[in-house]
Structure 1
Amino acid sequence: MAPPPEFLEELYKTSVGFRTNIRAYNSILAFTSIGAKIDHSVTSGNGPYTFRIHGQNHHQIGSLLPVEGRPPQFAQLYIYDTANEVRNRMSTLSRTSNAGDLDEKIVTGLIQMMDNFNCLAKIFRKAGDRYELGDVSNFSITLVEQKRRGKQYEMPVSEEIVGLIIGDMSTTTGERDVVLQFKLSSHLQRISDLHPLFMSLQYPLLFPYGQYGFHEGIQYTNERNKIKRSFVTIREFYAYQIQTRLSEGMTIVKGGRLFQQYVVDAYTAIEQERIRWMRNNQKTLRADLYNNVFDAVDKGDTNAKVLGRRVILPPTFTGGPRYMVENYHDAMAICRWFGNPDLFVTVTANPKWQEISDHLKAYGGESANDRPDIECRVFKMKLDDLLSDLNESIFFPKPIAVIYTIEFQKRGLPHAHILIWLDPMYKSPTANDIDHLISAELPDKETDFEGFKLVEQHMMHGPCGLDRPRSPCMEKGICTKRYPRPYTEHTTVDKSGYIIYRRRKDMSRFVMKGDVRLDNRFVVPHNLAILKKYKAHINVEWCSKSTAIKYLFKYITKGVDKTTIIIRKGTRETMFTEWMNTNKQYKEATQLTYVEFPTKYVWNNTVTTKSIQLMVSNIIHSKMLAKLEDYLMMIMNGVKQ
């Protein structure tokens, strides 16, 4: 990517107002509108800026001229009433709170920059010139979908990507070409997310030259010829594009709040392409095993009038219902085999991590919030390191099983929930065992100053309650996290199985949050050794005695509690048929149920061999309405051959 124009580069470096309102400046220059519903509940307030949308995302563009009686918008501003263009553009934000924050000089400079460098703006200006000269003949602008030139990184030329066509153009229009008619119309066209100009039309400040973006014809280099497919995927393209490279222009990654919007836009484009592929490849996915009558019977639908064709998302679709169900049942299978988990750990990203700060210093950026991609990458590195430490029994006894899931907070920071199973000897821990691993107290400031400061910074809840009744944790005048906790001299277990950690009353151990004094009653349970190494909010809870194990599993997988297994007649080799064949061949196999089978054997698509490591399996739930399948499941769970 080429360096940005000098005017834009200078704004990034010197104008705080421009960086703060960059989304507004981009909006008044954009050629298209964004169709998603923006969640403003997280875009305002005192917390870090977060861009979040609801519903399907799409970009739209209208006719070249506005309908009579309506002001021009988006691409129309490049053609209609250009004598008052600055005022017209700024007036499009007159109903928003940040309209008065825009600088007229900056708007004027950005318009001139677009006219000088943006190939899309140039072709729209040509249409504007024809209109101002009174030439109202039948012409249109066509945004060409097929890339008709050389290398991806070459600077664009307007004639190659946009056409000003006079007369009838229907015979030369491509499948995804966008044709903008001169005639007045309120009809809006959707731009395909696979159109090469999909992003350039929406983000002129990130693509000031009107560059081509992703298209389906980008080939791999020779170094990647081991990959079976020939062309770059949409996910690979956007993942490559947001990397920091000193040898190229960094217009995108320096976009701040606009960069956040762009990342969300790119993510939705990737998801839409994945869903589109699954919709068009239902036979490949063998969706007939899931859909129509089978799923309907599972739900109890017996009225044929309500049945119809549905598109099935397989378990491989991350975040889909079957994905969640599969992960939930896998977690419950581990729980069935090893018993209740012992530790529940929550790890939250720290935007002040040294790795993030070093990157911002080296490559530019005011705060970590400007680079959510770096926050996520560093968080994943830290999480992998923590999991490695857990497996090497650095902080806790060596685990026999670990599962985790990664989520994002309301304000955007990633965090992980981890369940850990320890050796069976820890199933009935003593108070000393728990105190050795988990602390809910402030360290002594004199003997452990580092630990004290880390707990103060990362592990103190509040203030809330009467000291701050409007705290986010407050609901109906009560803290939903149950703080402040009562003082306790010794760690105990209540009748529900929850651990009541030791919180001794020591008036010398406290921290000040503003003018509020917080003591041991507000300390979040933690492991001090983990806290010292990872320097982030890491909550550690003992949960082996809890009666809420099912809640914990559903909490970390966010799935429902059932799905369906469908058994059909046929001769194709499956795990089920090979299970029966193996019982015929090996006497020891007859002593195992279907669920126990992976502990001794593993199926490699066509052959069953002896397993060299412990494997845990599960059979997902079948509704009682499917009686034959349910009876079969009961046999497979409890009967040996």
Structure 2
Amino acid sequence: MLAFIKSGKPFGQIIADVCAIDFQKRGLPHTHILIWLHSNFKCRTPEDVDSIVSAEIPDKFTDPKFYEIVSRFMMHGPCGLANLKSQCMNEGICSKKFPKKFKTQTVFDDNGFVYYRRRDLKDNFVIKNGIQLNNRYVVPYNRELLLRYNAHINIEICCQSMLIKYLFKYISKGSNRCRVVVEKDRADEIHTYMNCRFICPYEAVWRLLEFPIHSRSPPIERLQIHLPLHQNVVYSGNETLPSVLQKPGIKKTMLTEWFARNRIDHEARQLYYSEFPHKYIWDPGKKEWIPRSKGFSLGRLTYVHPASGELYFLRLLLNHVRGALSFDYLKNVSGVVHPTFQLACKTLGLLGDDKEWEDVFCEAMATATSPQIRNLFVSVVLFCDVADPEVLFSKF
């Protein structure tokens, strides 16, 4: 299915995708797929949505075959008052929020959430368990995928960042687990337990036959960021400190070898750190960057919280300086080597002038008490991008 989706026929040009196979304790495996459309094919109007997603029952007289597929695979319920014992019911309410409200046309709310067209058509319904189900019970679908695969395929358009975070979390949630508790003494507050992985028969067969479990495109290279001599070092518990320090390549990291590659390769100096995986491949065995002969990869710098201090400002510089040769090179602005990465960022104009934080305190002074203002100052310095905390403190 993923190959057909990436062909562009159902939705248009696909620029990225993530796919994961999920196994439930009962039933056959199913897949979750996230796709990103090219900007030319993004859904910006209700007409764009209606062209690829529908939430209505097709006409059973003009399109009987498709009506049969939708009736069989894409109707939710019956639930609610019609069937209080349905699996989706939770405290008398459908957990999937069915039945939906009728909509004469597809609309976007203020947050970009899509409400699909569900017209109130009296003569268009499906009989399921002796109950009439109308468009309020239709699970959104794509006509071309249903006709091709004749199966339950739920299609949703996602326009909210919070939903995207949830979907990523759901796809990468990991395997099912079960806990076995062994009690030797009922009076003991600390129980010995085993945290076991649960593998159902379907997943066992899937893995024995070596079917794919997960895929993503394009490939992503996670780039390390660290301050000088602050990189992570992996070692076993029985190793001594001298033996760890004597390991070959212990001082080599993605970042330090990016500096080294830039010193000997003129073409490499034309790239930002994040652009490097597009032209070079990281060899974890040799710990060096080598020129790429085929394919490509997207580089993504590890996230750093603004309250992380110098590490945050180092990351900021790596996004704005090409072909750096060393950590001091990043601090060098117009021939002056600054003592900190923060001062280098400030000189380059990458930090604001703190006016927005000054406005925050001006507003707070009208109603807040002195302890509240002090707490506000600490929060702003810890969690916000303040260019000069000392000046801000002196002013207020």
TM-score (norm. length: structure 1): 0.36
The equivalent of 2:298 in structure 1 is: 616
Instruction: Please name the residue that 1:544 is paired with.
Output: 159
Deviation at 1:455, TM superposition (A): 0.7
1:596 is displaced (CA, Å) by 2.4
After superposition, where does 1:223-622 map in structure 2 within 5 Å?
A: 386-545=1-160, 547-558=162-173, 566-568=231-233, 572=249, 574-604=253-283, 605=286, 606-610=288-292, 612-621=294-303
> Residues of 2 paired with 1:623 and 1:547: CA distance?
19
- 1:452 is matched by which residue type in structure 2? Y
Quote how far apart the aligned CAs of 1:571 are.
5.9
Separation in 1 of the partners of 2:306 and 2:38?
37
Cα 1:629–1:399 change in 2 (3 A) is same
What's the CA shift for 1:619? 3.4
Q: What is the CA-CA distance between 1:586 and the residue it aligns to? A: 3.5
Distance 1:556 1:497 in 2: 22
One-letter identity of the residue aligned with 1:440: A
Q: What's the CA shift string for 1:259-300, capped at 9, x where partnerless?
A: xxxxxxxxxxxxxxxxxxxxxxxxxxxxxxxxxxxxxxxxxx
Q: Is the 8 A contact 2:106 2:114 kept in 1?
A: yes
Corresponding letter in the other structure for 2:120: K
**SS of residue in 2 equivalent to 1:617:** strand
Mapped contact 1:599–1:611 kept (Cα < 8 A): no
Report how far residue 419 of structure 1 moved.
Answer: 0.6
Give the C-alpha shift of residue 393 in structure 1.
1.6
Deviation at 1:607, TM superposition (A): 4.5
Partner SS, residue 542 of structure 1: coil
CA distance in 1, matches of 2:314, 2:161: 33
Q: Partners in 2 of 1:611 and 1:630 — Cα distance?
A: 33
Q: List per-residue Cα deviations over 1:571-618 (Å, max 9, x = no partner).
A: 625533331122223445334332222123223454520464441122
SS in 2 for 1:580: helix
Offset at 1:428?
4.9
Contact 1:459 1:524 in 2 (8 A): yes
RMSD: 2.9
Q: Residues of 2 paired with 1:417 and 1:388: CA distance? A: 14
Q: Which of the two has greater helix per residue?
A: 1
Q: Hey, what does 1:121 align to over in structure 2? A: none
CA contact (8 A) 1:594 1:636 kept: yes
Larger radius of gyration: 1
Distance change in 2, residues 1:431/1:623 (3 Å): closer
Residue correspondences, number: 253
Rate the CA distance shift 1:637–1:443 in 2: closer, same or farther, 3 A: same
Secondary structure of the 1:406 match is: strand
* Structure 2 SS opposite 1:526: coil
- Contact 2:56/2:117, CA 8 A, preserved across alignment: yes
> Could you say which residue in structure 2 is the equivalent of 1:211?
none
Cα distance, 1:638–1:407 mapped onto 2, change above 3 Å: farther
State whether residues 440 and 503 of structure 1, in contact with CA within 8 Å, keep that contact through their aligned partners in structure 2: yes
What displacement does 1:635 show?
A: 4.6
Which structure dedicates a bigger proportion of its chain to strand? 2
Cα 1:532–1:475 shift into 2, 3 Å: same
Report the CA distance between 1:638 and its aligned residue.
5.1
1:488-528 CA distances to partner (integer Å, 9 max, x unpaired)?
Answer: 11111112221111111111111111121101110000011
Alpha-carbon deviation of 1:533?
1.5
Q: 2:98 & 2:294 partners in 1: Cα distance?
A: 48
Could you state the TM-score of these two structures normalised by the residue count of structure 2? 0.57
Query: Aligned partners of 2:7, 2:291: CA distance in 1, in Å?
Result: 30
C-alpha distance after superposition, 1:292-326 (max 9, x if no partner): xxxxxxxxxxxxxxxxxxxxxxxxxxxxxxxxxxx
Q: CA deviation at 1:633?
A: 4.8
SS in 2 for 1:512: strand
In 2, Cα distance between equivalents of 1:415 and 1:596: 35
Q: Quote how far apart the aligned CAs of 1:454 are.
A: 0.7
Q: Aligned partner of 2:98: which letter?
A: Y
The residue correspondences of 1:166-205 to structure 2 (distance < 5 A) are none
SS of equivalent to 2:298: coil
CA distance in 2, matches of 1:625, 1:542: 35
Which whole-Å CA distance do the structure 2 matches of 1:439 and 1:619 have between them? 39
SS at 2:35 equivalent: strand
Secondary structure of the 1:416 match is strand
Instruction: Look up the equivalent residue of 2:157 and give its one-letter code.
Output: W
The gaps in structure 1 that reach 5 residues or longer are 1-385
Q: Structure 2: give runs of 5+ residues left out of the alignment.
A: 175-223, 226-230, 234-244, 325-396
Q: Percent identity?
A: 42
